[in-house]
Structure 1
């Protein structure tokens, strides 16, 4: 364009030229440059856009859990629909339509995710009872869960609650083995006396949220049986028959293999984990092998894969059949039936059904001659699961299983690993070395991707899990499970004893590996509560790296690096106060935990230790030299943030003279009590008595920064949170 053709800004002494240039640049940047660049970027990446639809749907579900209440949920749905309208309004401005299509589909699925989980909560959520009660129940048994390792049986009951018995409720009760009767099976009609209480919320910020899980399982109360059970009518048939088969199978396996190996074998065969001892379960957890105890993708896939290979080999042995029928189709059908039967036999829990659904998609792809495992197939499986059980998104089982599978597929689709595994002319040793190297890299990648999930939910991770799984997964998949299946088959003719011995030997080897790994120095890494923001950075970065293609996937490293830095900078809480005010944890600078009371509950102690990232045995405050204790209170002084914090904690339920208590409160910055304190008690910073804790739930205090996090901040106004009601 020549100089005389340049548009001339109008002469305006009041800044008209600058206003013209600004509006001209803004119009070009917003309507042309930015949109064109993004359109070009989407067009040249060649990524599979299908998985991002599931990501948008899952983001809507996660948003519902994060936002506090109905008003914000409606705004989230409107925001998603706003993206849809923005995409529609673009019309034909996009040459290829990538931006327009992305806005419409992602916005629609995000809004759908918020709506689906909201509807699910309203449909299945059960209003918990208002307070603990002792009552007589006339109930029908829905499910029976045997837990011999804890010497108890757990019953899921349908009954009526309320003074007039006008409320149908689903409850869960525990009874000791000496209270149990053989007739207490599924569908049986019984009468009993029970102590019931509302499902417990998290006792501390970041602790296990049983109230949320109970809400989506429909439990109005949990408790324990008092006295004997009275049988009114025995129930048989239907679901009871499948449950009885499962228990009979578990007992049969434990009869063939005693001790710890028998408990593990019963878990692999029937999904019954009730016989696993606490020491073995802790060792498996700290070694990063707990996933082997949950019937999930590994077990279902192993059963289906073995069935598929066996069937296709057997069918190929009949030439007339092989020449007339597509053998992969028949083998896939048989393997699908085997997988569905195994899922039903092991209890058909949500993780097992989810794994079975994904494996069925793999078999469908094999039967159609398509690629067996791809990110799109994983996305379809995840979308199907989230449509049925959207609440599973926030559980560790869903997150860990899909994160592991996505990692495996994304890694093996990378050019680098494909070049490592590419066939070449070399000796057997080098081929095996390459495969072992690829297996090790895969294990390390899975461990790295799962560690943020494990730390977020459990505040601890097995550091050597990748190396333990390198030996444990092949041992269970190719040795233990086939031996157990063969032993059960031979038991039909009474010849399974030698195979049971071999299966027991392999499981003893697995347990030995778990105990050895867990006992190594530094085998367990403890971390304080990871914030939801840090966790979302890990998730966003990981999904970007896995689902994008080309060099653009490296952008995902930025949020991961930021999340790692923030995680390392996460401070350990100085003071932890449980929701009832009875238990207080004080963290020392050397990592030692000081507890207010010596609780008989390992659950309380473990939560305080995990959330304070403390190792070793905790010290009781009365035995701590820095504490000054009377018969009713303990006073401690903590040096944090360049100042002294004086903390007063009640240790008895005796009421003191109000004037003396008020004077003591004035001398302290923080006062903690498991009862209501008078208004005259006014500490300098915080009075954590029953009145406050009923509103906030458990507290985590960072005295150095002068900040406080509460359970209520994380729960909002969701149906399962009863704070302040």
Structure 2
């Protein structure tokens, strides 16, 4: 039963993210309090009533904790885009050699009048939400191109720069990555890019531990980048310092497609290798002294050395939340080893999750927390099964049979982990890997036992100028790792794209997986029912047919063959990949809207005729800033069901169903439009009343389709959906 305590807190946090606003959050808290009282009152002191009551209280604690932190975490969001001359102190530096830039996190000290008018300084950073009672300035993340960077960019330095600042972007379309939520909890009210060369006002202080660690991290990354070729150097730096700025986009995509992306993020695997190697060396070296070996608790001393190494490695890599979570788990394991207890148990996983939820409740909603704990939970639960223990326990047998048994255990573990991670990957990234289990059988031992030790020896040997042989070994091993990633990632069917998974389906699968992992009796098999229900809901969900980004510039139409047609031929790689993957296809498969059957495009606009479920839909979208005559535009608007534009359209442009121009998109954000069982989902609807949600500005107050689930049906009822009585010359606007 104690294993369900962190599950209850996670459920409370997830409920807060899922539910729309304060009334719903208060309802959750009160209902859980009522359930807890009922459990204590009617449970008659039995285990069942007490368990229900404690679980309900843990849900309430989780909801209250994340609500409390959200109210106090975020700095006021930048009101609008602007250009400002800033004087700021550097808090963090992240080199991005693959992008030829440096990312700095700044604490603004002062700014120009134009910056104040843009809302950058604390006098203008007024709270955007009435319930917030803070006006402190948060940190700002700025990308500085290499040509505008200067020597001396280090934590603590004061710089002056001219930068274009924008509010943290919301999701481009429903279901895409929403950076505004992450920025809120990180206290980041604005992001931007330096426009002119930076001026160093005050050099960074020296001598402090924080400055020493930051300098060591930056210097170590720079040293590694000079010792290996660019592709290998980026991966090598990521393994040691956690800096992924040197990993090229192609390599990053290959690691993602092959299921090896976890190797690039410093977390449990890397920390385990560092701690394990330290313990191994400490035990072997201390055992060389017979008197010490006979009288001192060497295992306890080795565990202490491993703990020191884990803490140092965490600090060196920047103490990111995933690394800190792994450190907490490692320290609990070391404590269990020192006490002579079996450390790798489900209670260890529960303890680590409980600590993480208490300190970082917002991480529950992110893929990092979910992926890491799903992986370790599935591994521990699998190897605690009696069948698994009997099958794969060590025994006296020939070396070949022992090797085959260990390989089978690795393969089974990999398959179970892949199955546990697949729903999370689909929900957050709309993709799932197929060959990750096989790739990890080779990649994990290669990274743990070859690459990381060789790289550590190379760095140590560099102190005396003898690191070249070790760098050669590291380079060859990294080349093999990159070959595995690219080869597996390029195999046919290496990645399966799934357009969408609803929150309800994801919740059902998560509940079923936890039920399977935590129960010990045959009742655990009941967890298969919600998993099957969630999978069925996902397969039965029809993906959206049209996506419109929040700025109105980009539009994607999902064709009958599943391919995505994009409005603008010069759509950037990020937006192309986002719109394609959320539609269930790879970015390289996207086509231009001009090539979509039924579409007629000109330099200024496109019309498209779409047939869905025996209904004919007409779409009109503009794609230039040039004026279009009313004589051509007005009949085209009247002939269209949906009009999308990145410029404000006049009132006489009246489509039959939806006009998605900046007047509407400023309120709704990006839109996902379904033509089968017609309906509209918006980013604002998904963000609801959370603190980072989009703020309505002074636009018109037209009723929004996404606020009325029956809007689409009533719109269709107003006309005959089975008859196309619109002008045949719907594309005449182009002529």
Task: Specify if TM > 0.5.
Answer: yes
Q: Identify the residue that residue 62 of structure 1 maps to in structure 2.
A: 14
State yes or no: 1:199 paired with 2:168. Answer: yes
* Equivalent residues in 2 for 1:271-310, closer than 5 Å: 271-310=242-281
1:625 to partner: Cα distance = 5.2
* Contact kept? 1:666, 1:681, Cα under 8 Å: yes
**Does the C-alpha gap of structure 1 residues 155 and 425 become closer, same or farther in structure 2, counting only changes over 3 Å?**
closer
Secondary structure at 2:424 match in 1: helix
CA distance in 1, matches of 2:5, 2:597: 59
State yes or no: 1:162 paired with 2:116. Answer: yes
1:143 to partner: Cα distance = 0.8
1:630 to partner: Cα distance = 3.9
Q: Identify the residue that residue 115 of structure 1 maps to in structure 2.
A: 64
State yes or no: 1:148 paired with 2:120. Answer: no
1:217 to 186, 191, 206: 186
**Does the C-alpha gap of structure 1 residues 90 and 213 become closer, same or farther in structure 2, counting only changes over 3 Å?**
same
CA distance in 1, matches of 2:149, 2:295: 57
Q: Identify the residue that residue 481 of structure 2 maps to in structure 1.
A: 510
Secondary structure at 1:344 match in 2: helix
Q: Identify the residue that residue 71 of structure 1 maps to in structure 2.
A: 23
* Equivalent residues in 2 for 1:373-452, closer than 5 Å: 373-452=344-423
1:414 to partner: Cα distance = 0.8
Choose 290-299 or 429-438, whichever is displaced more: 429-438
1:480 to 443, 451, 457: 451
Q: Identify the residue that residue 85 of structure 1 maps to in structure 2.
A: 37
Q: Identify the residue that residue 239 of structure 2 maps to in structure 1.
A: 268
CA distance in 1, matches of 2:264, 2:378: 21
CA RMSD of superposed structures (Å): 1.6
Q: Identify the residue that residue 179 of structure 1 maps to in structure 2.
A: 148
State yes or no: 1:687 paired with 2:659. Answer: yes
1:319 to partner: Cα distance = 2.8
Q: Identify the residue that residue 18 of structure 1 maps to in structure 2.
A: none
CA distance in 2, matches of 1:425, 1:232: 69
CA distance in 2, matches of 1:399, 1:103: 24
CA distance in 2, matches of 1:646, 1:60: 44
1:681 to partner: Cα distance = 2.7
CA distance in 2, matches of 1:486, 1:582: 51
What TM-score comes out, normalization by structure 2 length?
0.89
1:657 to partner: Cα distance = 5.0
2:294 to 323, 339, 362: 323
CA distance in 2, matches of 1:498, 1:415: 46
CA distance in 2, matches of 1:604, 1:631: 21
CA distance in 1, matches of 2:205, 2:244: 24
CA distance in 2, matches of 1:513, 1:259: 17
CA distance in 2, matches of 1:465, 1:670: 42
1:599 to partner: Cα distance = 3.4
Secondary structure at 1:628 match in 2: strand
Secondary structure at 2:5 match in 1: helix
* Contact kept? 1:268, 1:293, Cα under 8 Å: yes
2:51 to 94, 97, 102: 102
* Equivalent residues in 2 for 1:116-131, closer than 5 Å: 116-131=65-80
Deviations 1:228-248 (A, max 9, x none): 212211122332221110111
Q: Identify the residue that residue 252 of structure 1 maps to in structure 2.
A: 223
1:466 to 422, 437, 442: 437
* Contact kept? 1:622, 1:629, Cα under 8 Å: yes
1:505 to partner: Cα distance = 0.7
* Contact kept? 1:127, 1:720, Cα under 8 Å: no
Q: Identify the residue that residue 23 of structure 1 maps to in structure 2.
A: none
Q: Identify the residue that residue 664 of structure 1 maps to in structure 2.
A: 636
**Does the C-alpha gap of structure 1 residues 423 and 334 become closer, same or farther in structure 2, counting only changes over 3 Å?**
closer
State yes or no: 1:568 paired with 2:539. Answer: yes
Secondary structure at 1:219 match in 2: coil
Secondary structure at 2:542 match in 1: coil
CA distance in 2, matches of 1:441, 1:62: 30
What TM-score comes out, normalization by structure 1 length?
0.90
Secondary structure at 1:212 match in 2: helix
* Contact kept? 2:231, 2:248, Cα under 8 Å: yes
* Contact kept? 2:687, 2:694, Cα under 8 Å: no
1:652 to partner: Cα distance = 2.3
Secondary structure at 2:589 match in 1: coil
Secondary structure at 1:520 match in 2: coil
Choose 673-682 or 715-724, whichever is displaced more: 673-682
1:360 to partner: Cα distance = 0.6
Choose 210-219 or 613-622, whichever is displaced more: 613-622
1:88 to partner: Cα distance = 2.5
* Contact kept? 2:515, 2:527, Cα under 8 Å: yes
CA distance in 1, matches of 2:197, 2:459: 36
Secondary structure at 2:696 match in 1: coil
Choose 580-589 or 234-243, whichever is displaced more: 234-243
Secondary structure at 1:644 match in 2: strand
Instruction: Tell me which structure has the larger Cα radius of gyration.
Output: 1
Q: Identify the residue that residue 688 of structure 2 maps to in structure 1.
A: 716
* Contact kept? 1:587, 1:614, Cα under 8 Å: no
State yes or no: 1:532 paired with 2:532. Answer: no
1:680 to partner: Cα distance = 3.1
CA distance in 2, matches of 1:631, 1:268: 48
* Contact kept? 1:61, 1:114, Cα under 8 Å: yes
Secondary structure at 1:378 match in 2: helix
Choose 330-339 or 704-713, whichever is displaced more: 704-713
Q: Identify the residue that residue 3 of structure 2 maps to in structure 1.
A: 51
Secondary structure at 1:480 match in 2: helix
* Equivalent residues in 2 for 1:334-353, closer than 5 Å: 334-353=305-324
Segments of structure 1 that go 5 or more residues without pairing to the other structure are 1-48
1:567 to partner: Cα distance = 1.9
Deviations 1:285-317 (A, max 9, x none): 111111000000000011111111221222223
CA distance in 1, matches of 2:421, 2:693: 29
CA distance in 2, matches of 1:177, 1:155: 12
* Contact kept? 1:64, 1:118, Cα under 8 Å: yes
CA distance in 2, matches of 1:381, 1:603: 35
Segments of structure 2 that go 5 or more residues without pairing to the other structure are 126-136, 698-735
Secondary structure at 2:215 match in 1: helix
